[in-house]
Copies of this chain bind each other. A is one copy, B any other.
Amino acid sequence: MSSTDVFETPVSDRDRLHPEPRVEPLIFERSGQGKRGYSLPPLDVPDTVAIPKDLLRTEIEGETQVSEVEIARHFTRLSRLNFSIDQGLYPLGSCTMKHNPRVNEEMARLPGFAAAHPLAPEEASQGSLELAWRLERALAELTGLARVTLQPSAGAQGELAGILMVRKALEKTGRPRTTVLIPDSAHGTNPASAHFAGYKVRELKSNPKGTVDLAALETAMTEDVAALMLTVPNTLGVFEDRILDIARIVHAKGGYLYCDGANFNAFVGVAKPGRMGVDVMHMNLHKTFSTPHGGGGPGSGPVAVTESLAPFLPRPTVERRSDGRFVLDFDRPDSIGRLRTFLGNYGMFVRALSYIASYGNRIGEVAENAVVNANYIRAGLAGVYHLKYDAPSMHEVVFSDKSQVDRGVSNMDIAKRLMDYGFHPPTVSFPLIVHGALMIEPTETEGKPGLDAFIHAMREIARECAEDPDIVRKAPHTTPVRRVDEVGAARNLVLRWRPGAP
């Protein structure tokens, strides 16, 4: 065999010619006989398989055989193909991509939390029960509501839990009602959650200010309506200044006011939903309370409720007994039941409480700075990009591509072009009521230099749209991969690697 047959030429030179590997093989493509990345202690008990053959498998065909070295390389190199908060501004509207304090990670990894088991005896779990109890108290104080369930795994599950509590409360009065009102600006999880709670969804048109049209609400708010699901501030970043009237209208008809608290970051520590007439509200610990987004979760979606909805909280609740001991209370006959196993995404509770404890009574500064930053961007881009709703912005601002479309450039193109300037794009194509939306949420953890650089980039792109739209339409030009064919992906589905596949 001649040596030149052996020295294989690697992936295309175009890709080699870049200090960052643009194409990393699948870990399955690294597999090879005789490689192993692990080892276990020798078995110290008899080696038995006491299961009938026909219930066994002989091998896991196609699984990997790689060394630890390749795992380190593969996942380090893959990670470098990602953009993340710690690299730069990540103004993904509605997602609150804020700095994740590192002490939270240290705390969550303490063996007393990370290596604890949810079904250990209560006596052996007093620390974790107390932590859950304290987090509930802190969230109750911040929302101005009576009780909180920490069980929901993320915001969407929190929505479902909240609406199910409303439904259960209404059932008590005889009829659960049929409908949930949801503004047209709402996040998609709202109607989806209402649907999985067994309700019809009725959409509420927003008024020209982008807020709830009180007249429309008056007419829509019938005795068939179980609840109004309202996002505060709404997904345009606008605070419902008539919130008290809204609550009055909803309550007058015996309905409940549900608050989608995914945007709590805009007023945490400044105002209390409980005082707004909110009956039930979910929060996203992974947004307002800085638990990391992890490339798409885990999240955690606690739900706060008024005293009157407390009997319907998911089971179990954490209670503190008069003797100071903490116990789980399963004996809650009116509970909606449970939405998942155990107490919830406990590791996120640890991080959130660490965060809340770090801010303490100064947590209002979070909201203040988040709102300043969003308005600074708004001021910097006003006139450059079109602003459909010019009501005052809170923590985010939603521009659109209206001034650029005539040059054949879409919000998606602008988003892609931002990558070339070293930023993650804003949220595009949401909220649905703004066509060609550019939904920008800088959060409070961005300093002026970063905001200035972003504003500068957005202005440059606007200039490019006018002078040289193609460079924007063909963007990105400097990312590990160029524009990705998403249509092709859906048309010709390849959802996994297959043994033997190239």
Contact = CB atoms under 8 A, between A and B. Distances in A.
Contacts of A70: 447
Contact of A21 (B13, B77, B422, B452): B422
A3 B380 contact: yes
A420 interface: yes
A62 interface: no
Interface string A81-106: 00110111000000000010110000
A457 interface: yes
A17 to B, nearest CB: 6
Interface in A406-435: 419-422
Given A87-B77, A379-B3, A17 B99 contact: no
Count the copies.
2
A478 B73 contact: no
A34 B365 CA distance: 14
Given A19-B83, A422-B18, A478-B19, A73 B102 contact: no
Contacts of A76: 84, 86-87
A10 B72 contact: no
A76 B379 CA distance: 30
Interface in A1-40: 3, 6-10, 13, 16-21, 30
Interface string A271-310: 0000000000000000000000000000000000000000
A19 B420 contact: yes
A451 to B, nearest CB: 8
A21 B453 CA distance: 12
A83 B3 CA distance: 30
A470 interface: no
Contacts of A449: 8, 10, 30
A120 interface: no
A445 interface: yes
Contacts of A8: 448-449, 452, 456
A7 B478 contact: no
Given A99-B69, A445-B69, A19 B419 contact: yes
Contacts of A6: 452
Given A455-B7, A456-B9, A21 B73 contact: no
A394 B104 CA distance: 48
Given A69-B445, A72-B99, A452-B8, A457 B16 contact: yes
A80 B73 contact: no
Given A73-B88, A80-B80, A99-B69, A19 B452 contact: no
A420 B17 CA distance: 5
A479 B3 contact: no
A460 interface: yes
A203 interface: no
A68 interface: yes
Nearest to A32: B447
Question: Which one of A7, A449, A457, A476 has the greatest number of beta carbons of chain B within 10 Å?
Answer: A7
A8 B67 CA distance: 49
B447 A19 contact: no
Given A8-B449, A445-B69, A21 B457 contact: no
Contacts of A456: 7-10, 16
A69 B447 contact: yes
Contact of A16 (B30, B83, B422): B422
B10 A452 contact: yes
Given A18-B422, A20-B422, A69-B447, 17 more contacts: A10-B449, A16-B456, A16-B457, A17-B420, A17-B421, A18-B478, A19-B476, A21-B87, A68-B101, A68-B102, A69-B99, A69-B445, A70-B447, A73-B86, A76-B86, A76-B87, A77-B88
19 contacts: A7-B380, A7-B455, A7-B456, A8-B456, A9-B452, A9-B456, A13-B460, A17-B420, A18-B422, A19-B422, A19-B479, A21-B87, A21-B422, A68-B102, A73-B86, A73-B87, A77-B86, A77-B88, A80-B87
Interface of A: 3, 6-10, 13, 16-21, 30, 67-70, 72-73, 76-77, 80, 83-84, 86-88, 99, 101-102, 379-380, 419-422, 445-449, 452-453, 455-457, 460, 476, 478-479
